[in-house]
Homo-oligomer: A and B are copies of this chain.
Amino acid sequence: MKANVTLKKLADMLNLSISTVSRALKDHPDIAQQTKDKVQELAEILEYEPNTYAINLRTNKSKEFGVIVPAVSSYFYHSFINSLEEEARRYGYSLMILQSVDDPSIELENLKRCKLSRVAGIFVSISSKTVDIKPFIKVEEQDIPIIFFDKVPDFDTCNKVCVADAAATELAVNALLNKGKKNILAFFGDQNMSITQRRLNSFNNIVGKKNDCEFQLFFAENASKASSIFEETVYKTKPDAIFCMSDELLTGVMKSVQKLQIKIPDDLSIVAISDGFIPQLYYPEIAYAETSGFKLGKLAFNRMMKYLAGHTYAQELSIDSVLINGGSI
């Protein structure tokens, strides 16, 4: 526990002023090269480390972003966070991770926390129950940029980055239709979630144009619901294909597929929307329209940096989706 070495200490030892030392260390043109060398050498030896607290106070900024997500251990978010962290590190930022546990009141607390910590910016995926986004807007008015990602509010004038829900849904469903599937079971998540609505809308659009194909829609909040719905339905309606709008639903369905020893893709085709981890656990690998948390992280970070550079206007961006074929259709 050695005493901290500060600018003042360096200055005293070198018989220089604090300001000169400060400038010397950051290669300010006002300072003579000779002086810079002396200062930097001593700083090196004494392992001088600037006091981040003081810098933050002085500059009223910090090199940290807040990330508010419903949960880190979700199929999607940890790959987003992974990707974000990579970028952040490259730019000298770090990430403060806050979970809302899908609870709007905790979400609000977390937002407050970000504000209190005066983070440089906030990435937030709102909880499924969040209705009031005024607090977010208010924070943004205090000059803390907010990028909404994945689960974004309906509100227009805010920055959003999303996966291409419509495109992904289309890709996935068309993959089935192109193979001539005629009887499709579609699994969707919680109806209250906007992501469900977007994927559902896109789905219905396609369905509307098709009349030589049967569709059956189910809503399941979790994997085991999906499982039981599947098991109840599969023998009754004898579908030739399954669509799952999420990883979680896919795991539910696949568990039943294993249980009932259904042959994929001979007896049944399956396609999902996923970031790719879950689908490759099975044999054959499940075909999926990719919605990469990884790519989304890059995009979100990019948008944040642009924002910080002055492009503060609201913008809605999305990553495109590709179909990864895995032998399940």
Contact = CB atoms under 8 A, between A and B. Distances in A.
Contacts of A192: none
A49 interface: yes
Interface in A232-264: 251, 254-256, 258-259
What are the nearest 10 A-B pairs in CB distance?
A258-B283, A53-B57, A53-B56, A259-B283, A73-B78, A78-B78, A73-B82, A97-B97, A255-B283, A73-B79
> Most B CB atoms within 10 A — which of A2, A53, A106, A278?
A53
Interface stretch (A25-33, A111-119, A194-202, A213-221): A111-119
Given A60-B53, A62-B53, A283-B256, A142 B98 contact: no
Interface of A: 1-2, 49-54, 56-57, 60, 62, 64, 71-73, 78-79, 81-82, 85-86, 89, 94-99, 101, 106, 109-110, 113, 115-118, 141-143, 251, 254-256, 258-259, 278, 281-284
Given A53-B118, A282-B258, A97 B78 contact: no
Contacts of A259: 283-284
Given A94-B96, A259-B283, A142 B2 contact: yes
Given A1-B143, A259-B283, 8 more contacts: A2-B142, A81-B97, A82-B99, A85-B97, A85-B98, A95-B98, A278-B281, A281-B281
When all copies of this chain in the complex are counted, the total is 2
17 contacts: A1-B141, A1-B142, A2-B141, A51-B118, A52-B118, A53-B57, A57-B57, A72-B72, A72-B81, A73-B79, A78-B78, A82-B99, A85-B98, A89-B99, A94-B96, A94-B117, A256-B283
A99 B141 CA distance: 32
A86 B53 CA distance: 26
A82 B78 CA distance: 10
A109 to B, nearest CB: 8
B98 A94 contact: yes
Contacts of A281: 251, 254-255, 278, 281
Nearest to A85: B99
A79 B99 CA distance: 12
Contacts of A113: 94
A161 to B, nearest CB: 19
Contact of A115 (B49, B73, B96, B115): B49
A256 B281 CA distance: 10
B52 A116 contact: yes
A255 to B, nearest CB: 5
Given A52-B118, A72-B85, A96 B283 contact: no
Contacts of A73: 78-79, 81-82
Nearest to A224: B280
Contact of A71 (B2, B71, B82): B82
Contacts of A95: 96-98
A317 to B, nearest CB: 22
A86 B106 CA distance: 11
